Amino acid sequence: RDAISADGGHYKNYGEILFILAGPFFRISNLKKKKFLSNSLPLLFNS
């Protein structure tokens, strides 16, 4: 049981680290998507 709980703790910490590292990348990609959408929507409506 100790080994299983220890592994679970490691996986949880690893996931938290990945989440913290990935956070800024997701925010940047979301900003790019929003810019892309706001730039492409007027083109679609105008055409």
Calculated CA dihedral for residues 21, 25, 28, 33, nearest 10 degrees: -140
pTM confidence score: 0.38
What's the pLDDT score for residue 4? 55
What's the pLDDT score for residue 46? 72
* Percent residues over pLDDT 70 in the chain: 72
Confidence of residue 47 (pLDDT cuts 50, 70, 90): low
Query: Where is pLDDT greater, at 3 or 14?
Result: 14
Mean pLDDT of 14-30: 82
